Amino acid sequence: MSAETDPFESLQAQLDDAAAYIDLDDGLLRRLKNPERILETNLTIRMDDGRLETFRAYRSQFNGDRGPYKGGIRYHPGVSRAEVKALSGWMVYKAATVDIPYGGGKGGIVVDPSELSASEIERLTRAFATELRPLIGEDRDIPAPDVNTGQREMNWIKNTYETLEHTTEPGVVTGKALDSGGSEGRVEATGRSTMLTAREAFDYLDRDIEGATVAVQGYGNAGAIAARLLSTETDATVVAVSDSSGGIHDPDGFDPAAVREHKHDTGSVVGYDGTTALTNEELLTLDVDLLVPAALENAIDADLAERVEADVIVEAANGPLTPDADSVLTDRDVHVLPDILANAGGVTVSYFEWVQNRQRFGWTEDRVVDELERVITDAFDGLTEAYETYDVPNFRTAAYIIALKRVINAHAESGTWP
């Protein structure tokens, strides 16, 4: 774990690596590396015991050249201005990698929601939505879930916005519950794109995914669903998973859905029947075919990267590798499939939800699953083509070349004004 790596510097380093292959003005590159604007605000709410409490919150609108700003809202004590800036930039290049018509944004509140009651979280969410109201809208900026937020928070944001605006506008936020205008397939979308990326990568690298051993770090929405789909839809064998309390291991594999039930009942994956305990670090250095980091940024630093035994890494989390870790893994021929492709299923099905909201016409789950598969496999093919054409050292640089070129083209086509 390398808490000191600034995620915003990581984003900028990733962009510099790809920009070296593209002819562009330094001034334009500076634009592409920095957010357009950031809201920083303090939300004061009344706690259940009558006290007033104030929480710092941010929304970064990184780049809107390809469409409205789009990205989640995170509730976590580790949220910072630098983190939100980085996450908003990753959204720009994620939407561009999979070619959906969005810019990128991200928000966060510095809070540990496990210490708040449901009604305190509701007041905090509505306070943030009130601050965001002038900035968001289905054609401006569209929030979504991220770490520690989900359908409940999105429904509250939608309701606050619609109440204040005296309108109905379900497309102002995505990741809503089904009865509040959500989409079939949205909850599992991030895990599904992780599974699809792993499947395509193994095929491209001439490796068998059936029976491949898998370790997953992080067992929230992305990690748990990626583990389940890898086991049910590709026949990979999940042998280790972890959460913030620790990890579990069984070399013969286990049923990821049953482990999720166990976590639901006990609060952690730890202690699941027939498994032995292991630390997060042991999990990240386990000798497996596929490693899926699905927790937070900076999970693997250069030191840990030297000890990674996996052959392929598919990033379900945003920014789980530091740039130094990336260099080490590239030198060691470990194939890394970047976050801006592998976890793009979330924002892609958010896009489908927004299309459905605007048309007031719902899709079946089969349609969502099929369209998502098309978007991810097309993006994967584009990525491997760029990997070969530009002869770049790794898949991340290939993805950023594609994404940067799309944003640069949109910017050029719009012209510079005034």
- CA gap 403, 340 in Å, rounded: 9
- CA gap 241, 300 in Å, rounded: 16
State which residue, 61 or 318, has the beta carbon closest to ligand GLU: 318
User: Is 405 marked active-site?
Assistant: no
CB of 269 to ligand GLU, least distance (A): 22
Alpha-carbon distances, residue 400 vs 32, 106, 187, 393 (angstroms) = 11, 19, 26, 12
Instruction: Give residue number: closest CB to ligand GLU.
Output: 72
Q: Give the strand pairing for 104-110 and 237-243.
A: unpaired
State which residue, 45 or 121, has the beta carbon closest to ligand GLU: 121
**70 binding ligand GLU? (CB under 6 A):** yes
**72 binding ligand GLU? (CB under 6 A):** yes
**126 binding ligand GLU? (CB under 6 A):** no
CB of 319 to ligand GLU, least distance (A): 10
**89 binding ligand GLU? (CB under 6 A):** no
State which residue, 193 or 322, has the beta carbon closest to ligand GLU: 193
Of 49, 82, 34, 65, whose CA–CA distance to 297 is shortest? Answer: 82
State which residue, 289 or 339, has the beta carbon closest to ligand GLU: 339
Tokens of 340: 């801006």
**149 binding ligand GLU? (CB under 6 A):** no
CB of 377 to ligand GLU, least distance (A): 18
Within 325-384, the residues that bind ligand GLU by CB under 6 A are: 343, 346-347, 350
**Residue carrying the six token digits 């899926």:** 292
Q: Which stretch binds ligand GLU (CB under 6 A): 11-19, 66-74, 256-264, 409-417?
A: 66-74
**191 binding ligand GLU? (CB under 6 A):** no
- The answer to whether 399 touches 338, Cβ cutoff 8 Å, is yes
State which residue, 174 or 237, has the beta carbon closest to ligand GLU: 174
CB of 211 to ligand GLU, least distance (A): 30
Helix (H, G, I), strand (E, B) or coil at 215: strand
- The answer to whether 349 touches 189, Cβ cutoff 8 Å, is yes
**144 binding ligand GLU? (CB under 6 A):** yes
CB of 74 to ligand GLU, least distance (A): 8
DSSP-based helix, strand, coil % in the chain, nearest 5: 50, 20, 35
CB of 39 to ligand GLU, least distance (A): 17
- CA gap 111, 130 in Å, rounded: 18
Q: Which stretch binds ligand GLU (CB under 6 A): 38-46, 70-78, 129-137, 330-338?
A: 70-78
Phi, psi of 214, rounded to the nearest 5 degrees: -130, 135
CB of 355 to ligand GLU, least distance (A): 13
Pick one of 120, 141, 146, 188: the residue that binds ligand GLU (CB under 6 A): 146
State which residue, 209 or 402, has the beta carbon closest to ligand GLU: 402
- CA gap 407, 160 in Å, rounded: 32
State which residue, 116 or 142, has the beta carbon closest to ligand GLU: 142
* Geometric angle at alpha carbon 168, from 164 and 169, rounded to 5°: 95
- The answer to whether 343 touches 317, Cβ cutoff 8 Å, is yes
> Which helix (H) or strand (E) element contains residue 144?
strand 141-145
State which residue, 72 or 323, has the beta carbon closest to ligand GLU: 72
Count of residues near ligand GLU by CB under 6 A: 12
- CA gap 400, 365 in Å, rounded: 30
- State the catalytic residue, choosing from 94, 106, 158, 176: 106
**220 binding ligand GLU? (CB under 6 A):** no
**71 binding ligand GLU? (CB under 6 A):** yes
Q: Which stretch binds ligand GLU (CB under 6 A): 50-58, 67-75, 110-118, 298-306?
A: 67-75
Helix (H, G, I), strand (E, B) or coil at 58: strand
CB of 16 to ligand GLU, least distance (A): 22
DSSP codes, 296-330? -TTSB-HHHHHH---SEEE--SSS-B-HHHHHHHH
Runs of H (alpha helix) within 34-188: 81-97, 118-132, 151-165
Please report, as a single letter, which amino acid is at residue 304. Answer: L
Within 305-334, the residues that bind ligand GLU by CB under 6 A are: 318
**174 binding ligand GLU? (CB under 6 A):** yes
Cis check: omega of the bond before 256, within 30 degrees of 0: no
Per CB under 6 A, residues contacting ligand GLU are: 70-72, 144, 146, 174-175, 318, 343, 346-347, 350
Q: List residues with catalytic annotation.
A: 106
